[in-house]
A and B are shown apart, each in its own frame.
Chain A
């Protein structure tokens, strides 16, 4: 006789697969911290314009290569955040612009001030920004400025938006290709499998950068920012899908032999229903983990290509384009703050790696591995 446990007066707590995954993921402390960091970075992606203190494209030669400006929090013992105004002057003796701080004047830094106009989340126009100097947005340069006097902090915030979304878009596209082709390869086997595996092997044995360079160089110079962005995503995912395809195929091959799949077959379940009900849920977490681990490669690729001038092009702003400004060591030695965009690049790559590791360890909640 089959009786439910409740009939014995026992209440059973059940946890879904996702709850178990989450419980195990939480044990990986570094992964949790990284997840929070990534959440923060994608918040920056959403709110880039709001967080920026100045128009990232506004050129002002008199502000070229301004060093980072500290915000003083205290004033005469009271809390009054302010900056000292900086003025740049060309010094004919050293052939360089020299920026002088005026320690007597104080410009108050306030929260929620009006600045340049933008569309909030593409919904409505506004000019509200998180912080800045009221009425004089250009007076504040948290991370200094570049050679054209554009505010590096504001550009960095906008570059984060581009670089993190292009990686995501590339991974989503690779995911579609990888899951479809890897799934077909693993489920049907035979000749299709052999063909797809050969293609993957060939793609993996080609050095990627010459290939990317070739494809990127093929993009006409007069294409708009959006079009280049889109094509670059496609180029990145052309290679990126191979690893995902292998992972999915491997999983399918293993799962096909599982007892519960055999049981489902014996109970007369159709192929489509087996794939949908049993195989897809079982590989989802692995696919997500692999995709997370594929993201850093995408970010590195975009950054490297843009850095060489073959990826995104100005007026687009991305981490790679910002690092282009730091290409000359002689320039860099005098203005080390130009290297600031390297910090989010490294942080994002590491964070995606840790989260991916954590997800991979947690992906199979029913295995006994801890």
Chain B
């Protein structure tokens, strides 16, 4: 088990390092750099920058140094907890993204909670009442969940909200709380706004999860030990909860790791459609402007959060699945 833990932690560190390189390459990839796009912007405004000033800017942002050097500078600062300053906005990156990062996480977590809260009872119901009218209904809904991409679902929800209730159902906070400091009232407001984005974001994963749980539970229910337990007179509820469900639950925890990258990805697009104040709009504009510290840090942080989430789900799995604990493999 210790060996597994060590290997898993090492792998997480390796992944984060790989993501840091990928995010750096992403920002370096477009032709030109931040200063060239800045010079272009100034020129288009009719106030061109003198060449020596351009050089000064390059030196100030370290753009005159080779790429490897710049990567090391960036990493060195990050490790000291300095996220850098956004070139375009002139604000510290940490200041721009702190609230937004938490909101992104809040939306993703709400989507995970939604997924579990719906998939668990529905999956169990579909399995123990296989081929019933309810099972068919849920199967149909699952197909719909798989077939509608979440940005389309978001669009549909916004449209229906507008047509039926004449209200803008987007956003995460009521207008009066947007700039307010965090307190209980603002948190409550956020919680009230979360269900709709969670529904939009979580539907695809929920549909997938229901199918998995149903299939696994059906496999387990047809095994001889269930028949034995029933023959010995165990009540149906205890019979179900005792073993089959516990075995069938395994993929719930193990897929949570892959669910998280999927949800974080999805939240970017859903945020754009439903105008949620997550990191999505900032990331998009920073990528367009080649704002290294802002865009790079965002991609990196999203990656790190995902890796940490995956790690947590693996540790949970370690806790509930003895096969991993004793054999060191899943």
Contacts and interface: CB of A to CB of B under 8 A. Distances in A.
Given A198-B11, A349-B147, A206 B19 contact: yes
A367 interface: no
Interface string B18-41: 110011001101110000000000
Nearest to B289: A217
Interface string B292-305: 00010011001100
A321 B298 CA distance: 26
Interface string A204-219: 1111111101110111
B258 A207 contact: no
Interface string A343-369: 001110110010000000000000000
B272 A217 contact: no
B269 A304 contact: yes
A10 interface: no
A308 B14 CA distance: 31
Nearest to B264: A207
| Interface SS, B side | helix
Interface string A140-174: 00000000000000000000000000000000000
Contacts of B18: 202
Interface residues on B, range: 35 or more
A342 interface: yes
Contacts of A215: 26, 29
Contacts of B151: 303-304, 307
Given A218-B29, A330-B162, A207 B306 contact: yes
B126 to A, nearest CB: 16
A146 to B, nearest CB: 16
A86 B298 CA distance: 51
Contact of A205 (B23, B146, B310): B310
B295 A214 contact: yes
Which secondary structure dominates chain A's binding surface? helix
A210 B29 contact: no
Q: Interface residue tally of chain A, by bracket?
A: 35 or more
A329 interface: yes
B299 A220 contact: no
Nearest to A336: B159
B22 A206 contact: yes
Contacts of B155: 323, 326-327, 329, 332, 339, 342
A209 B268 contact: yes
A209 B266 contact: yes
B163 interface: yes
B299 to A, nearest CB: 5
B148 interface: yes
B158 interface: yes
B306 A205 contact: yes
Nearest to A353: B146
Nearest to A300: B149
A201 interface: yes
Contact of B146 (A207, A211, A303, A349): A349
18 contacts: A202-B15, A202-B18, A206-B22, A206-B261, A208-B261, A208-B265, A209-B269, A210-B268, A214-B26, A217-B284, A307-B269, A323-B152, A330-B162, A336-B159, A339-B155, A339-B159, A342-B155, A347-B147
Given A207-B261, A214-B26, A346-B148, 4 more contacts: A210-B302, A217-B30, A308-B284, A332-B155
